Amino acid sequence: MTRPTKRPMPGRRHLRAGMRPLWLLLVLFATLTGSATAQVLYWDTNANTAGAGSSPSGIWTTISFFKRWSTSAGGTTNPVAWTSGRDAVFSAGADAINSYTVTVLGTQNVSSLTVQEGSPTFSIGTINFSDASPGLTIASGSTATFATTSLTSASGNLNLGGGGVLELATNLNLGGTLTFGGGTLRLTDADLNIGTLNITANSVIDFAGSASTLTLSNLVLGGGVTLTILNWTYAVDFFTSAAWAGATYDTMGSSPMNQITFNGFPAGETGWDSFDNQIRPNVPEPATYGVLFAGIACLLFAWQRRREN
C-alpha cells in the first residue's frame, strides 16, 4: 500500500516565505545602525587613559603604527589607526584645552570634522571632505588653524559653523556652496574661490591685516543676518562677488547691502561696485583723494597770495 506524500501546510509555507524579507530587513537595519554608531573617531594621544591629553600633538595617518584615535568619546578605549571616511572629532574627553599640532600625512578623507575643545593647528597634507554635505564645526572658544594643510571637498560643498574660529593660511577652492552658520572665518594671506557663500547666521570674516582675497560667484545673506568684516584694507584685501541675491549695484543703505558692516564704517555705507564686483565700504578712490589734495593746495595758495597782497 502506497502512503500519501506529506506536504507542508500552505499556511506555514507562506508564513516562512513572508518572514524571509522581514529577517533581511532586520539584518540590514542592524548593519546600518552598527556602522553609523562606529562612524565617529576621537583624536586621542594618551592610549586608554581618559581624555586625550592637554596638548595632544601627533601624526594623522592610516598607518597602523600611528594609533591616535579612540572609538570612545571619553578616550578610554585602546587607540586605533584612522579609518578613511569617518567623522573626526578633536578631541576625546575634555582635557585637550591648549594649542597643539596635528601633522597630516598624505590625504585623509573625512565625512565631517569637529573641534570641540582646544586649538589645533593642522600642518602639511590634505584633509578631504568625502561626504555630499560635509560639516566643519568649531566650538566657541576654539580655533582651528590650517597652516599648510589643504582643505578640499569632493562635492564642492562645506557647512561651516559652531561659533569658533576657522583660520586659513592656505588657499581654498570650493565649486559648490559654503554655508556659513556662525563664527569667524579668518584669512591669513589666503585666496578663497567659492561658488556660493550662503550666510545663515550672524558671522565674521576677518582679513587679519594681511593680503587676502575672497572671490564669490554668488552671495546669499539670510533675512536679518549680519556679516561683520574685520581688518580689511583698501586696495590690499579684496571681497568680490559676481552675483548677490537681492542686491543692487552702486547702492548703499538698503538690504541686503546694509547687512554687511566693515569695521570702522557704518553699515549704511557698504556697497557693491558695478565696475569690478567689489563689496566694500564707501572709501574714496585714490583719484578722489588727488582731487581733494589739489583743491586744498589751490585754496592754500590763494590764501597765501591774499595775505601777501
pLDDT digits (tens, 9 = 90+) for 72-90: 999 999 999 999 999 999 9
Helix (H) or strand (E) holding 201: none
pLDDT at site 84: 97
Q: Where are the alpha helices (DSSP H) in 122-243?
A: none
What are the Cα distances from residue 30, in Å, to 19, 35, 39?
Answer: 17, 9, 14
Residues 46, 77: Cα–Cα separation, whole Å:
10
107-124 average pLDDT score:
98
Q: What is the mean pLDDT of residues 217-234?
A: 98
pLDDT at 35 over 50: no
pLDDT in tens, 271-292: 999 999 999 999 865 444 444 4
Torsion angle of the four alpha carbons 255, 186, 182, 279, in this order, in degrees rounded to the nearest 10: 10
Question: Has residue 107 got a pLDDT over 70?
Answer: yes
pLDDT at residue number 25: 46
5-19, 151-165, 230-244, 278-292: least confident range: 5-19
278 vs 68: CA distance, rounded Å: 45
Task: Answer whether residue 23 shows pLDDT above 50.
Answer: no
Residue range 114-122: average pLDDT?
A: 99
Average pLDDT over residues 1-30: 48
Contact (Cβ atoms closer than 8 angstroms) between residue 146 and residue 168: yes
What value does the mean pLDDT of the chain take?
87
**To which H or E segment does residue 24 belong?**
helix 10-37
Residue with the bigger pLDDT between 147 and 287: it is: 147
Q: Which of 166, 215, 224, 225 is nearest to 191 (CA)?
A: 215
pTM of this structure? 0.82
Per DSSP, 250 falls in state T
- Nearest-angstrom CA–CA distance, 27 and 39: 18
* Cis peptide bond upstream of 256, omega within 30: yes
* SS3 label, residue 305: helix
Q: Which amino acid belongs to residue 280?
A: R
| Domain coordinates in residue numbering, the chain | 29-301
- Cell numbers 600633538 correspond to what residue? 57
pLDDT at 289: 40
- Contact present, 184 and 160 (Cβ < 8 Å): no
One-letter identity of residue 309: N
**Least trusted range by pLDDT, from 72-81, 164-173, 297-306:** 297-306
